[in-house]
Amino acid sequence: MQVEGQVVVVTGAGAGIGRSLCQRFHAEGARAVIAVDLNGAAAAETAALVGGAAFTADVASAADIARVVEETEARFGPIDLFCSNAGVATADPAPDNVASAPDAAWNRDWGINVMAHVHAARVLVPRMRARGGGYFLNTVSAAGLLSQIGSAIYATTKHAAIGFAESLAITHRDDNIRVSVLCPQGVDTELLRRSEPNPASLDGVLSVEQVAQAVIEGLAEERFLILPHPAVLTYMQNKTANYDKWIGGMVKLRRKVLAMKEAASA
């Protein structure tokens, strides 16, 4: 897919990867870039940077997503590329109990990290089928392919997001609907800074601009997996080649991360 001339919607566009994607899509010649964020003022700031439109919306709300789609298409025409980029990460409250997070946290993060993708597909797939195709870019995380030490919610919801994206890609390939999942490790965003030291940073922290470049390249090739950190592919291969050995390696990594956190708090 070439972004030039396309109508693009980006959620979680108020900062970080989302804002950088909006800026890059604008630079690539998108016909319209629509910035969506729970923080309406931040969405408006992004829209002003790219000469686009802004919406305040909660991506966990099916009604909000439907409103964004309806109003965008009424103003700008059919959405060619919908980027479900908004996400949230909640650490395990008790590091020694993987199930320590309350139900409220699980439900909130499930709504944002999983159901937001479902809501977008539910409203857009029929429209895309009717007009001959379209594209979904879902920001997930390398955690969806591997795991996330210190956050069972993040690891679980991101795995679920991968599962839904696979189903979306398989079911609707013959409808000319394409799907890509963006799965970086450490990216220089507020989300990462709040959780340092973070194992996602061990292979290097990329700028949001580098991630946006990887997205442009991945969309051009219509690749399902967009991996800004190439090492993630090797880790995936190690995981599937010997699951028990991979889990053993992750146990060792967890010990290392705990030691890093203890040293940082000393």
Catalytic residues: 154
Give the per-residue SS3 of the chain.
Answer: CCCCCCEEEEECCCCHHHHHHHHHHHHCCCCEEEEEECCHHHHHHHHHHHCCEEEECCCCCHHHHHHHHHHHHHHHCCCCEEEECCCCCCCCCCCCCCCCCCHHHHHHHHHHHHHHHHHHHHHHHHHHHHHCCEEEEEECCHHHCCCCCCCHHHHHHHHHHHHHHHHHHHHHHHHCEEEEEECCCCECCHHHHCCCCCHHHCCCCECHHHHHHHHHHHHHHCCCEECCCCHHHHHHHHHHHCHHHHHHHHHHHHHHHHHHHHHHHC
Both tokens of residue 25?
A: 């899509």
How many CB atoms sit inside 10 A of residue 54's CB?
23
